[in-house]
Amino acid sequence: MKSLLRILVILSLTFMTYAEECDYNNSVSPDLEKVLKLAGQVEDIVRYIHDTPHEGDDRKERTASSPKWLAAVGKLNNHCSANLIGNDLDENSRVVSTAFHCIDEYIESGKSIYITFTTNDGRKIKREAKIHKSGDLYEDRAILILDELISYKDIPPLVIGDGSMINEDDTKLTIAGYSADTGLGAKGKKLTYDADCVLGGKGSDKTENHIYFDDCSAYGGASGGAAVLEIDEDGEKVPYLIGHIDESTKKGVAVAYGYYDTYYSEDNFLNELYDAVDEFNTYDD
């Protein structure tokens, strides 16, 4: 998804470069023909990502019978997803995780960021958010702080997990977000999730935090959304957020920016998440 944006920018600049040539010549140069061909390929790719179901796409739309933790996955402005997080399910939260490429445009513009959550009884909770910590297009992660707490009685937060919690036997991992496909996602209006994702691999060194999922579908708009591992604890399924969606491919491979204690780049993002919830979240007396 990020690479497509870069290609589109390059194409836009290239078209401007060739504009004068089109004005003064009736024929199209060989170089411009190549650009036009590439533009057509990019257009096909974008159409595929948004309109054509991935092979094996078995996402579901969030309904009353869906996992209750999906309420903690919110819609960021009109184009991305984000996750309400905490240390425990009974924590009132102001802390949200998402992908950097979902908020980079707001860093310079100063435009407001809003995140809307939908409770399990259908109520909308909208909060303004400020950027607390951010990475870059390579370290695709960010922490946002909401202007007001959201009570766990309305929406329990997703519990921060460690990507190392996943093992080869975990074949029922879930990703969720507001995919903007024109099918099930209804152009980002509906929260969809794939609960049959299979671990495809993990990053192999300390500069590669990614977790790879096979048989796992998401589309543009799901970026920043949840990658969750549910664990049975004392008869209760606890949803651990082990990463957020970074990108996906047309072959049903989803990629998450994983939260790791042992993998890090310049800063340890997992520790930053813990520090944020310790500072901004509360418990009821």
The per-residue pLDDT of the chain, averaged, comes to: 82
In a domain, 119, yes or no: yes
pLDDT of 49 reads 47
- Determine what percent of the chain is predicted with pLDDT higher than 90: 51
Q: How many CB atoms lie within 10 A of CB 73?
A: 29
pLDDT of 262 above 80: no
pLDDT of 11 reads 43
| Mean pLDDT, range 41-50, rounded to an integer | 43
In a domain, 84, yes or no: yes
Strand pairing category for 80-86 and 158-160: parallel
pLDDT of 31 reads 54
Band of residue 260 on the pLDDT scale cut at 50, 70, 90: confident
pTM: 0.81
pLDDT of 285 reads 72
Asked whether residue 165 falls in the same domain as residue 221, the answer is yes
- Determine what percent of the chain is predicted with pLDDT higher than 70: 76
**Dist CA 200 CA 253 (whole Å):** 8
Give the range among 38-52, 218-232, 242-256 with minimum mean pLDDT: 38-52
Dig out the tokens for 158 from the structure. Answer: 């997703």
Band of residue 252 on the pLDDT scale cut at 50, 70, 90: confident
In a domain, 285, yes or no: no
What is the domain-level CATH number for residue 93? 2.40.10
Asked whether residue 109 falls in the same domain as residue 150, the answer is yes
CA distances from 7 to 1, 11, 13, 218, 250 (A): 10, 6, 10, 21, 17
pLDDT of 266 above 70: no
First to last CA, the chain: 44
pLDDT tens digits, one per residue of 141-178:
999 999 999 999 999 999 999 888 887 766 679 999 99
Domain that holds residue 25: 2-51
pLDDT of 39 above 50: no
Nearest to 101 by CA among 211, 246, 226, 249: 246
In a domain, 140, yes or no: yes
Contact 238, 283 (CB under 8 A): no
Cα atoms found within 13 Å of the Cα of residue 118, Cβ hemisphere only: 14
pLDDT of 87 reads 96
In a domain, 263, yes or no: no
pLDDT of 72 above 90: yes
pLDDT of 131 reads 96
- Per-residue HEC secondary structure of the chain comes to CHHHHHHHHHHHHHHHHHHHHHHHCCCCCHHHHHHHHHHHHHHHHHHHHHHCCCCCCCCEECCCCCCHHHHHEEEECCCEEEEEEECCCCCEEEEEEECHHHCHHHHHHCCCEEEEEECCCCCEEEEEEEEEEECCCCCCCEEEEEEEEECCCCCCCEEECCHHHCCCCCCCEEEEECCCCCCCCHHHCCCEEEEEEEEEEECCCCCCCEEEEECCCCCCCCCCCEEEEEEEECCEEEEEEEEEEEEECCCCCEEEEECCCCCCCCCCHHHHHHHHHHHHCECCC
pLDDT of 265 above 80: no
| Mean pLDDT, range 238-242, rounded to an integer | 95
**Dist CA 209 CA 186 (whole Å):** 31
In a domain, 63, yes or no: no
Asked whether residue 167 falls in the same domain as residue 243, the answer is yes
pLDDT of 281 reads 98
pLDDT of 182 reads 87
In a domain, 59, yes or no: no
Band of residue 233 on the pLDDT scale cut at 50, 70, 90: confident
Q: Count how many domains the chain has.
A: 3
In a domain, 225, yes or no: yes
**Dist CA 99 CA 159 (whole Å):** 18
CA distances from 128 to 113, 117, 131, 175 (A): 6, 12, 10, 24
pLDDT tens digits, one per residue of 52-71:
667 778 899 999 999 999 99
